[in-house]
Structure 1
Amino acid sequence: MFSIGEFARLGLVSVRMLRHYDAIGLLRPAHVDPLTGYRSYQAAQLARLNRIVAIKDLGFTLEQVRAILDEKVGAEELHGMVRLRRAQIEARISADLARLRGVEARLRSIETEGYMNTAEVVLKKLSPVRVAQLSARAASYDGEDVGPVIQPLFAEICARVDRAGIRITGPGLAYYRQEDDGSVMVHACLPVDVAPGPGHDFEIRDLPAVGTAATIIHHGPMEDVGPTFQTLAHWIEDNGYRPLDLAREVSLHCPDDRAEWVHELQIEVAPV
């Protein structure tokens, strides 16, 4: 048998934790000296200690740990719980990182206030384009809402067009439309040269020509697009235009290094 200090060292926990587990009946010592009160543990009890620590570190309360252990959870079930918890933690980390990137982008917008280079904005006509597209709804224009929608859409439309053996004729693009309930319809598109019709697991449609669009080039990941869009907004207002419903993002260059991405932002405008 092992003293409480020895057992704590072998189990990689603190003596204080073992005493607490004893007090709440979660892990009793194998023996307690009636005269000294010294606790002694057996090596076999390490198995229960391992389960207690593993389940607790998954985020369960000690009462929940007790209930789980009383059901005699096996190693395979514990592995399943770990996999689920890992997925939850990774999702939370991803969301936190996205939120942090959004804050950093807002700070860059604040830093560039008054120094926006609106000379980069170009007015142009947009030709009609036939596209294969997939669409989905995002809760809002917030990057945390749009990003998780548009990225899988592009991956899926690329895969479907490739399976269909259809030739892509130009750079991919996305466009968005505000719904009455405040949500946003997100459309991921690839230019193609086939006629609309049935037989595909995606929509083929013609995007109309645009008489006047205010455009600007954005360099870098789309998480950082805020300052570029705001530069475009200042130009539109300062030059006597108003934005119409159509806004497009054209992917001009999208290598693996997101810092090297290049997009053209296009907003249909009309004179005020």
Structure 2
Amino acid sequence: MFAIGEFARLGRVSVRMLRHYDNIGLLRPGHVDEASGYRYYDAAQLRDLNRVVALKDLGFTLEQVREIIGEKLNPEELRGMLRLRRAQLEAQISADTDRLDRVEARLRTIEREGHMNTEDVLLKPVAALRVAELSGVAASFAPDDIGPVVQPLFGELCRRLDDAGLRIVAPTIAYYESVADERVRVHAAAPVALESGRQHDFDVVDLPALDAAATVLHQGSMDEVDRTIQTLAYWIEEHGYTSVGYPREVYLDYCNEEPDRGVTELQVLVRR
């Protein structure tokens, strides 16, 4: 058997941790000397220690670890549980990373608030346009709700257009409509030359003309579009207009691999 210090070194944990595990009944020593009170462990207990440490590192509480260890899971069952927990943690890390990116984008918007050039906004009419489109519903207009809906829609729309032998004739467009509560219907649209009466596995829609649209070019990733929308808002207020509906997004230059190089025209209908 191994004294507690030696076992701690072999298991790459601290003596203090082993004593704590003993006190809470999570990992008892194989033997305790009655005279000295020294704890001793056998090599087979490294198996249990490995399970405890792995479960703890994956975010389980010690109480949960005790319950899992008590179920005497075989190695395959335990591996399955650890893989599932690992996938959950990876998804959480990805979500947290996306959240940090959005926070950084908001901070950059705040930092540039005093340097917004409303002279970049252009008031112009926008012609009607026939598009092929797919649509879905997002929980809100927040970026973390819109992105997971609109991106797959565009991918699926392009696939269906390819299958139909149709060519996109102008930059793709995303536009939005309120549904109920805070939900938003997301439209992924691509201008195409085709007759509206034909049957397809996508919708064919004639987007109405906008008699007066406040428009501005957004340079960079759509994760940072808030600063450009804020510029639009300042211009609309300065010139005595009110906006109608959500801005259209016309993707003049878009690359999924390099979103920071994108160029998007925002178009919002305005009225006095």
**TM-score normalised by length of structure 2:** 0.91
- Conserved 8 A contact 1:169-1:191: yes
For residues 47 and 208 of structure 2, the distance between their equivalents in structure 1, rounded to whole angstroms, comes to 67
Instruction: Tell me the equivalent position of 1:136.
Output: 136
Shift of 1:124: 2.0
User: Does 2:151 align with 1:151?
Assistant: yes
CA distance in structure 1 between the partners assigned to 2:198 and 2:57 by the alignment: 52
Deviates more, 1:60-69 or 1:12-21: 60-69
- Residue equivalent to 1:97: 97
Q: Amino acid of the residue matched to residue 47 of structure 1?
A: R
Q: CA deviation at 1:12?
A: 1.4
- For residues 190 and 72 of structure 1, the distance between their equivalents in structure 2, rounded to whole angstroms, comes to 57
Q: Which moved more, 1:93-102 or 1:223-232?
A: 93-102
Worse-matched range after superposition: 10-19 or 104-113: 104-113
Q: Shift in Å at residue 198 of structure 1?
A: 6.8
Q: 2:223 corresponds to which residue?
A: 223
Q: Structure 1 residues 194, 247: closer, same or farther in 2, change over 3 A?
A: same
Aligned: 1:39 with 2:39: yes
Aligned in 2, Cα 1:42/1:160: closer, same or farther, shift over 3 Å? Answer: farther
Structure 2 Cα separation of the partners of residues 43 and 170 of structure 1:
69
Aligned to 1:189: 189
The farther-off stretch of 260-269 and 246-255 is: 246-255
Quick check: 220-229 or 12-21, which moved more?
A: 12-21
The AA in structure 1 aligned to 2:190 is L
Q: In the TM superposition, what are the counterparts of 1:24-173 in structure 2 within 5 Å?
A: 24-173=24-173
- 1:99 deviates by 2.6
SS in 1 for 2:44: helix
Partner of 2:258: 257
Determine if contact 1:242/1:269 at 8 Å carries over to the other structure: yes
Kept in 1: contact 2:109–2:224 (CA 8 A): no
Q: Equivalents in 2 of 1:97, 1:38: separation in Å? A: 47
Moved more, 259-268 or 55-64: 55-64
Bigger Cα displacement from structure 2, 43-52 vs 241-250: 241-250
Distance of 1:107 and 1:116 partners within structure 2: 15
Instruction: Say which SS state the counterpart of residue 21 (structure 2) adopts.
Output: helix
Q: Deviations over 1:41-80 (max 9, x none)?
A: 1111111111111122222222221221222223333333
Matched with 2:236 is: 236
- Between the aligned partners of 1:125 and 1:150, the Cα distance in structure 2 is 26
* Residue 4 (str. 1) matches residue 4 (str. 2): yes
Q: Contact 1:95/1:144 (CA < 8 Å) preserved in 2?
A: no
Instruction: Single out whichever of 193-202 and 162-171 deviates more from structure 2.
Output: 193-202
Q: Given residue 93 of structure 1, which amino acid in structure 2 is its aligned partner? A: I
SS in 1 for 2:141: coil
Deviation, 1:199, is 4.8
Provide Cα deviations, 1:118-141, integer angstroms capped at 9, x if missing partner: 111112222222222222222222
2:267 counterpart residue number: 266
Superposition RMSD in Å:
1.9
Distance (whole Å) between structure 1 residues aligned to residue 234 and residue 52 of structure 2: 58
d(CA) in 2 for partners of 1:78, 1:217: 53
Any idea what SS the aligned residue of 1:43 has?
coil
Contact between 1:132 and 1:203, CA under 8 Å: does it hold in 2?
Answer: yes
The gaps in structure 2 that reach 5 residues or longer are none
Pairwise CA distance, 1:22:
1.5
